[in-house]
Structure 1
Amino acid sequence: MKRLLLAGSLALSGCASGDLQRFEKALAANDSATLALGQWCAVRGIAQPPEIRALADRAASNPPSPAIRASLGVSASEPVAYRHVRLACGKTVLSVAHNWYVPALLTPEMNHVLESTDKPFGKVVALLGFKRERLASKRGRMAECPEGTVLSHRALLHVSSGEAISLVVECYTRANLSRAG
């Protein structure tokens, strides 16, 4: 009986590892985590329609550290906004994200949408044509991520001029490795 349980456990962890590799590739193929999660949600059948919503915690506050300001290339006096969200497809939370961004580099309309709606950052700023620079990736949780995180990313989003508009820490949940049904 123990051998059977061990064999089943090993097979399951191998399957999860393969799913995690596929998930990592899906994320790497996109500059927008929102776009990647929407595609992943559709492929995995997590929810219909496979639309990503950013469930924003409007009460969250996390002033940027000097290191975050340095990464964004902003002075100590320049405003940096913070947005803490759970990205969900249907009722399934796929990611918890911490996002520090430079409001001065966004349009007034973009800032208004980010402050007042649950629209994902990637969708809101898509017209800026940003590119992602991954700073760190870790299987499991980074310090900023909750327990149960299966994959963590830290990244900068840059516009074509090279300016960083956002530093994001993304904490991907175990739900990304589950199959629908």
Structure 2
Amino acid sequence: MRMRVAAAAPAALALTLAAPVRAHPSWPDGFVARLEAQALLQGLNADLLGHDSATATLQRFCDLHGGRPGLKIAARRMPGPDKPAGEAERRELQVGPQAQLRYRRVALACGEATLSQADNWYRPDRLTPEMNRLLDDTDTPFGVAAAPLAYRRRTLASNVLARPLPEGWERQPPQANAGPWTPPAQILEHRAVLITPDGIPLSLVVETYSAALLALPEAVGKVP
């Protein structure tokens, strides 16, 4: 049995965002199903780490798994007080205690499914007046508003919060990891700085990604 698992694992772990998303509140029973969940999480995390825009990555995911064609990622402003930037945030943005920073908290959604939430501290002095207007007055995602600046993303931390298979699973018999798995509400967390081509930090984002990414067709509605 171990030889069968070893043969199946590379194929399953090679799945990326093109893998089908199962519309279940808990993942189906079975070792192979858990392996698929593990591969999907790894693929999503790698895609987020490999691209400069989280919004664009989620749009690709929505296009593949959204259930209805033409859905666009929407940024929904989340109510609540501003969260002042601390010393760590100002250090990562390379600004002193008196420099002006703006704060934005948004949820990115595909249809009715909230895929991520993000805290964003950014430097308005590095944006054009039109970019600042879009961020102040509309729900435009930051990555869309600032796209003309051709920024790049530098990840500071990446944490996988969901574990379909425990550490050392490859050394255990499949039956040990064959039960149903219910993902936690948050499955990934990233902390990153967006940097302009001349090397100046533009924005600091702390993003948490939702388990809705594992049940997207059910959340947004299937094609009739």
Secondary structure (helix, strand or coil) at the match of 2:202 reads: strand
Q: Which residue of the partner structure matches residue 51 of structure 1?
A: 72
Most deviating of 167-176 and 147-156: 147-156
- Superposed displacement of residue 170, structure 1: 0.7
TM-score (norm 1): 0.88
* Aligned counterpart for 1:91 among listed residues 103, 106, 112: 112
Tell me, yes or no, if the aligned pair for 1:48 and 1:90 is still in contact at 8 Å. Answer: no
Q: Which residue of the partner structure matches residue 208 of structure 2?
A: 171
Most deviating of 22-31 and 166-175: 22-31
- The 1:71–1:44 alpha-carbon spacing in structure 2 relative to 1, beyond 3 Å, is same
RMSD of aligned alpha carbons: 1.7
Letter in 1 for 2:111: G
Tell me, yes or no, if the aligned pair for 1:49 and 1:90 is still in contact at 8 Å. Answer: no
- The 1:15–1:39 alpha-carbon spacing in structure 2 relative to 1, beyond 3 Å, is same
Q: Percent identity, please.
A: 38
Secondary structure (helix, strand or coil) at the match of 1:135 reads: strand
Q: Which residue of the partner structure matches residue 56 of structure 2?
A: 35
Q: Which residue of the partner structure matches residue 124 of structure 2?
A: 103
Structure with greater contact order relative to length (CA < 8 Å, sep ≥ 6): 2
Secondary structure (helix, strand or coil) at the match of 1:133 reads: strand
Q: Which residue of the partner structure matches residue 82 of structure 1?
A: 103
Letter in 1 for 2:210: T
Secondary structure (helix, strand or coil) at the match of 2:29 reads: helix
Q: How does 1:1-181 map to 2 (within 5 A)?
A: 8-140=29-161, 148-180=185-217, 181=222
TM-score (norm 2): 0.72
Most deviating of 36-45 and 19-28: 19-28
Point out the structure with max Rg over C-alpha. Answer: 2
Runs (5+) with no aligned partner, structure 1: 1-6, 142-146
